[in-house]
Chain A
Amino acid sequence: MIHKYKLSGYNVLLDTNSGGVHIVDDLTYDLLDNVQPPFEDTCPQKIIDKLGKIYNKDDITECYDEIVSLYNDKILFSEDDYEKFALTSVASPIKAMCLHVSHDCNLRCKYCFAATGDYHEGRMLMSLETGKKALDFLIEKSGDRKFLEVDFFGGEPTLNFDVVKQLVEYGRSREAEANKKFRFTITTNGILLTDDMIEFINKEMNNVVLSIDGRKEVNDRVRVRADGTGSYDRILPNFKKVVETRGKDKDWYVRGTYTKYNLDFSNDVMHLYEQGFDQISVEPVMADPSMPYAITQADLPRIFDEYEELMKKITEIRDSGKFINFFHFMLDLDQGPCAIKRLRGCGCGNEYVAIAPNGDIYPCHQFVGNEEYKMGSLNDGSFNDDMKAEFAAAHVYSKPECKKCWAKFYCSGGCNANNYIYAGDIHNAYKLSCEIQKKRLECAILMKALTMLDTAE
């Protein structure tokens, strides 16, 4: 399978199964509409006659030979032979956990997937006892995995920060005897951050995700407090303090959501950059299409243009010698994740679970509160291994649309929760999300390819 596209004056050719990326001329681009394996020794005359109206005939035969050469090198039209790995490597230890220490929130963000923090289950904080059980559960289920990821999530986790601190201490106290290493992270809206909290977070958390949507008017239209006032002025200085005092060896991101209200979201990315944040993730809102802020199919052309605009702005910054990282443009064409990793997405329900404040277990944070997808409970020791197996089997070959998609080894089947919520089944691709993902990937592949073009053969 190949995928080719035109972007910013370049013709990009991707070989899906090998991951091979090529920049090609117009002749190659057009010739690929006319040829596919099995190849003949020389270019068929009827193709020379057809394209000969536009291109030089010697060039056509030469180009044909180059295509055949890459085919023989297995970096063009290469075979898809990964399915056997999808069918055999299903039983994975659990290595990551989203720990919902607070189903309460001090913001009332209009697009909140968690029903303004309580996940339709009533406002509640996790007890220390339940949190300890969660970490014990993770250690017990983690098999030979050394690194265990725990994200303190909510709601707003700083509303239960004493428990966060005690759980970090508890986790650390178990690391040696269990031969594990916890990688704690926290996702916060920043309203309550104090200097003490920031110091603790920067000492203990491998990653911190700071929620802010961009420009003040954009952020404050949707990220509001209970009284309706905006959050921007409160959170911005707090986030700056986190970043300024954070160790260079530790990860962090400012993370925003864009909606129909700010389809010019490249301006929000740039605003965040101008405020001193150079690790940025801004993502499309996932929402019921009837909501006024929801992104719909009709918005896609505008969104595609905006990603191209963002690509240009980021390239300009980098060309000036400065650093900026946009999470969804990150791509390593030489040393990314292995093919096995790429067969499944986030690993939810299989390698990754979420724990609600009451100790209920779900495949991920987005399934929390959905009784149909409750996997078990820390309180009675129940755990649905059949459901775990179902998620383990949700790989790109069990998702009909993914199986035939060129982007399958990049998004790896997408978000199972979005598939379930918006397309009715974890195996059904949520097309809106797919289209955005594919555009982001096209931009990311080209951006990376251009940085490598000088040394290309």
Chain B
Amino acid sequence: MKHIKTINKANLKKTAAKGGCGKCQASCQSACKTSCTVANQKCEREA
């Protein structure tokens, strides 16, 4: 495209169907403890 460069190919919607396994880390247990960011956590679902 000439005017728009799309950066990422992933679509959050695709993750909804198979998501929610709960194996990932609790978001506050890593290095925040006061300001929660979830999007910087890793998915730990086994393929």
Residues of A within 8 A of B (CB): 13, 17-25, 27-28, 59, 62-63, 66-67, 69-70, 74-75, 78, 81-82, 85, 89, 92-93, 95-96, 98, 113, 145-147, 149, 151, 183, 185, 187, 207, 209, 251, 253, 255, 257, 279, 281, 283-284, 286, 327-328, 330-342, 344-348, 351-352, 364-366, 409-415, 418, 433, 436-437, 440-441, 444, 448-449, 452-453, 456-457
Contact = CB atoms under 8 A, between A and B. Distances in A.
A146 B46 CA distance: 12
Contacts of B13: 17-18, 74, 78, 81, 339
B31 A327 contact: yes
Interface size class, chain B: 35 or more
B29 A151 contact: yes
A75 B37 contact: no
Given A18-B11, A113-B34, A339-B15, A412 B27 contact: yes
Contacts of A113: 34
B22 to A, nearest CB: 6
By secondary structure, the B interface counts as: loop
Given A17-B12, A75-B11, A339-B13, A66 B38 contact: no
Contacts of B5: 22-24, 453, 456-457
7 contacts: A74-B11, A92-B22, A253-B30, A336-B42, A339-B15, A348-B28, A415-B35
Contacts of A25: 3-4
Given A286-B35, A348-B28, A338 B3 contact: no
A67 B26 contact: no
A183 B36 CA distance: 20
Contact of A24 (B3, B12, B18): B3
